[in-house]
Structure 1
Amino acid sequence: MSRKLGLFIAAVVLVVSSFFVAVNPAAAETYEVKMGTDKGALGFEPKELTISAGDTVKWVNNKLAPHNAVIDGNVKLSHKALVFSPGESFESTFNEPGEYSYYCEPHRGAGMVGKIIVK
């Protein structure tokens, strides 16, 4: 009986310890990009952002609305709907490495462009 109990305890310890030894992938991050700079300029802040595959970018309406973020050649990640209220936001998760150029449709001509670099 005590041998069975010993084997049972050893099995439980092995299973529990395997949770601590297993490789835990890095948790995905969420990064914020302001639409409209703090100084009131028509731009994204930051203008360029480097993230890891699986991370999310949250675009937040800051100043001088309306804004959106259209990613060149990528309808799935783009947000063509305009946001008007301060603090209004939307998110995109970037799963594939690469460089993603984007712009605000109403303010592209004013230079409101940015880039996400996914490692």
Structure 2
Amino acid sequence: MICRRRHAVWLGGCAVAFVAGSRSVLAQPTVTVEMRGSPRGERIWYDPVGLAVSPGTTVRFINRDPGNSHTATAYHPANYDRRQRIPTDADPWDSDFLLPDEHFEVTLTAPGVYDYYCLPHEMSAMVGRIVVGTPGDTGWEGSSNDKSDVSEEVLAALPLVQRILSEGTVSRENGS
């Protein structure tokens, strides 16, 4: 499920579901990825750049960079005819441009590796990777080995899947 920022107020409760036949309320996990930039704008990054989550987690991308607009765009042919770098069963997403303090949410259900980028800043290696589940999960898909659609700088900026799985969260220090 994808929640766009214009629906954020109405869909704020989309992360809460009632269990049939019970008075219990189950909250789906929500994690935040911030879009950041240095004061003069010479460096931009996602924080964290690598994240491990369980299937069904909602990821909220928030632009915390006061000087730039950013996107969170999945590598997928539906998005600007890019090579697919998300699981086959996953829905591609594109946040569109987020101004400072705007946000976008996507719920990731298919196990595997999701690579995404900022449309105007990909060449500055503003990319990120989310690992959903673990390699033992049914339907797991690892990261794409296709390197024809991304630069060496982009590949170097993406943390290794094993590091994300072992640390849970990988941040870039000061956006470097």
Same fold (TM over 0.5): yes
Q: What's the TM-score, normalizing by structure 1?
A: 0.70
* Between structures 1 and 2, the one with greater helix share: 1
Q: Which residue of 2 aligns with 1:33?
A: 33
Find the aligned partners of 2:68 and 2:37 in 1 and give their Cα distance.
11
2:123 is aligned with what amino acid? G
Asked if the contact 2:75/2:92 (under 8 Å) is kept, the reply is: no
Q: Which residue of 2 aligns with 1:50?
A: 52
Deviation at 1:77, TM superposition (A): 3.6
Percent of residue pairs identical: 33
Alignment RMSD (CA, Å): 2.5
Find the aligned partners of 1:97 and 1:82 in 2 and give their Cα distance.
27
Find the aligned partners of 2:61 and 2:77 in 1 and give their Cα distance.
16
Q: Does 1:112 align with 2:129?
A: no
Which runs of no fewer than 5 residues in structure 2 stay unpaired? 1-20, 79-90, 134-176
2:96 to 75, 81, 85: 81
Q: What's the TM-score, normalizing by structure 2?
A: 0.49
User: Secondary structure of the equivalent of 2:72?
Assistant: strand
The count of corresponding residues between Structure 1 and Structure 2 is 97
Asked if the contact 1:77/1:92 (under 8 Å) is kept, the reply is: no
String of CA shifts for 1:23-79, please: whole Å, max 9, x gaps. x8x742110000115776311000001101000000000114210011112754422
Moved over 4 A (4+): 37-40
Asked if the contact 2:38/2:44 (under 8 Å) is kept, the reply is: no
2:93 is aligned with what amino acid? S
Larger radius of gyration: 1
Find the aligned partners of 2:94 and 2:44 in 1 and give their Cα distance.
18
Find the aligned partners of 2:111 and 2:101 in 1 and give their Cα distance.
28
